[in-house]
Structure 1
């Protein structure tokens, strides 16, 4: 079942946040499937994306914001930083005009619905990355996987050409939907 994109985004952030709250002190430096990112860098990335969302969904540009969300955004309480940023992002995505407002991204202007879909997909895939890095259950919500896969089928080539995902990974015999999605994002399952 394909889920409305704002609901899918909220659920993906909730799932990622649940894992953030399970990170043990000694796990913050664990490597992740994301090249050059440890757990702290991955969570910092997600906090940064969540901080950008309300600004971009309000019509501001990347140029206007500059480097305001660069650097360490986690401080001394990473779960608290994530929770606050995610709540603001979800709130902004639920605004009535969020789906139709033009968002000014670094690569061009897109409708808010497309931007929220990209945020959702990133949160979903990074949920798996974080689970893998901290040794948690790697199963993703099947409805979110289906929603992401339906969108990504049309976006994959563009993502790969832009160099923002890895190469398609080989699939085992009879892969499930999650394995197919992750492999298409360049993840070795």
Structure 2
């Protein structure tokens, strides 16, 4: 699977979870390790994803926050956080579907990456946040077979390298009867019995 396709699969998975967050849950505390925001709520987590979506067209154009960041202090969520996120997600999806110029460098705050690796980073963040948000809030969610296959192809080979940078926790031995999703989650250290 190409990594732009993996991004679209992961982005759709995250949206499917965010769209099912009960608005009353937005004020609930979120795990502190998910963000640098002090005392985060799930609204803060949705803001982080809205911010990330808002940046996608600029990232595809080779821009970085160092060039100026109009989104950091903007009110991206307004009175309807989930609908606002969805609008930004629609724009990001359209930008990815339009394609990226060959040789574009994705310039993230933590470094510069090729298009292929950059999309893998963006997809990883979305896929596992979808799973973690759903797990934490009790939203039914399963990764699609396509998403699992794409992550196994494009992310798992880099797991040990990324683990050294703190992206993934230690791997977990999967249970004997583990399905594909559980095996993936165990390999990347996210599975919870």
Q: Is the 8 A contact 2:10 2:147 kept in 1?
A: yes
Match of 2:142 in 1: 139
- TM-score by length of structure 1 reads 0.84
Residue 157 (structure 1) aligned to one of 160, 184, 189: 160
Match of 2:172 in 1: 169
Q: Secondary structure at the match of 2:100?
A: helix
* CA RMSD in angstroms, aligned pairs only: 2.4
TM alignment of 1:30-179, pairs within 5 A: 30=28, 35-36=33-34, 38-66=41-69, 68-69=71-72, 73-98=76-101, 100-179=103-182
Q: How many matched pairs?
A: 187
Change in 2 beyond 3 A, CA 1:50/1:156: same
Distance 1:7 1:172, change over 3 A: same
TM-score (norm: length of structure 2)? 0.82
Runs of 4 or more, structure 1, over 3 Å off, are 29-34, 70-73
Deviation at 1:30, TM superposition (A): 4.1
Cα deviation digits, residues 77-105 of structure 1 (max 9, x gap): 11122112212222222233356411222
Question: How far did 1:171 drift?
Answer: 2.3
**What are structure 1's unaligned runs of at least 5 residues?**
none
d(CA) in 2 for partners of 1:67, 1:161: 32
